[in-house]
Structure 1
């Protein structure tokens, strides 16, 4: 019994020591596991930091490359600006020597531009006046056949063509009574335009005129017919003679062929030509009027 108790007393410290060591071991093991987990977590964060650092370094390198490229462009721009400034300096020397000449050239260009605008304005005004005149004339003689009297504008000039069958008998330069009625309608419009000057032209066909004591040929006939019209406009309708001129064209300015009777009839005509008011254009050509 004493032996058994002795053995038990001898084993008791061993058992107690084993129990205490196992508990500490488990606690240490748990602590190790915890620390190992923390270490792994720190390793992960370290890797993330290294990755972020690498990305940041890459971004910095990229931005540095862009900055270098921009600096290169800035250097090129500076060089170009310097070259441009140099050219401007060179030009400034030239312009300084020729400034007065350039100024005169620019003034001359401006004056010519204004001169052209004045001409265009005057031409537009003239065209408007011509169209108004044509409308008035057509209104005045509106009851007459267009084949007997034709009013038109050609190249800025107003023409009034009156068939000779309305004005004269064949081969004669004496005006008929009907002619005075027609000329009276035309004269009424012309009197309302006191600034207008005109020329009366006589025209014939190509049939040779049988000369007599008064006339030698178609030249004479065309001129006499023109002067007959001018006299009536002056004496019967009061148009100032200074506004008129008389001319003969004979057979040499036909409006159509003389190969047919209709063609000959069309060529036998009296034409009133409204003369352009060239004095207005001549004023523009003067030094002060034209600004040259």
Structure 2
């Protein structure tokens, strides 16, 4: 029994020896530290919550930025494709423009050659026909063609389709020039005034008179002066293309004429235009 008491006393002594009795001051300090730690923990939890919210916000911003980037990248790719396509079109247009400019230059050069040839032909005809220019003969250029206009009195007796000697001399001089210019096409046009044809036998009207006078000149040039008939065309214009619309005698005289239209062959020019 005593042994039990001794053991209990030993245990109590041991327990009392191991326990530390805190003073009120230390106890309060521990409580304050505990409260501080609790407040710090609360602050950390608030910061953690804020950081989580900020993280979520940043995720949303990142998603928006990624969407914007994807849209901008798609637009960039589209613009790049458009640029490539436009660049190809620009290159093609530039090439086409260079070709057109080259063709334009060739056409302009051909026109200059034509104009030079036309002016040279006019000069030759004026010199060859100088002696007839006071007898109702004129030489001028219209629309790139040389017009040799011969008054009817220079070629035909009144109301006749037979060329007289003075007219033949003028046509002989004309033939000398055109036979040396094989690249010239020739159109012989007959023109009359507005007076009606009366008592001219087979000639019914001004159409007939203009056509028959044109064919008379054409026959003379081909049969007598050996002008290549493949180069000639004979047409009658009647009274419908007057030089002077007046009704006075001098106006009517101007309208009664044969016009020989000489035009350089323009095959080269036409080929350039058709390309």
- In the superposition, the TM-score normalised over structure 2's length comes to 0.69
Bigger drift between 149-158 and 239-248 goes to 149-158
Q: Give the distance between the partners of 1:146 and 1:92, measured in 2 at CA.
A: 76
Q: Deviations over 1:205-231 (max 9, x none)?
A: 111001544111000000000000000
Contact 1:202 1:225 in 2 (8 A): yes
Aligned to 1:238, which of 211, 226, 235? 226
Residues 43-54 of structure 1 mapped to structure 2, 5 A cutoff: none
* Structure 1: 4+ residue segments shifted above 4 A: 88-93
Match for residue 275 of structure 1?
263
Contact 1:211 1:217 in 2 (8 A): no
Match for residue 208 of structure 2?
220
Match for residue 55 of structure 2?
none
Contact 2:186 2:231 in 1 (8 A): yes
Aligned to 2:118, which of 121, 130, 135? 130
- Give the Å deviation of 1:147: 5.5
Contact 2:140 2:147 in 1 (8 A): yes
Gaps of 5+ in 2: 1-75
Contact 2:135 2:154 in 1 (8 A): no
- In the superposition, the TM-score normalised over structure 1's length comes to 0.65
Gaps of 5+ in 1: 1-87
Contact 2:192 2:239 in 1 (8 A): yes
Q: Deviations over 1:140-194 (max 9, x none)?
A: 0112234610000112121100011110011110110111100000111000101
Residue 252, structure 1, aligned to residue 240, structure 2: yes
Contact 2:118 2:264 in 1 (8 A): no
Bigger drift between 146-155 and 123-132 goes to 146-155
- Give the Å deviation of 1:97: 2.9
Match for residue 112 of structure 1?
100
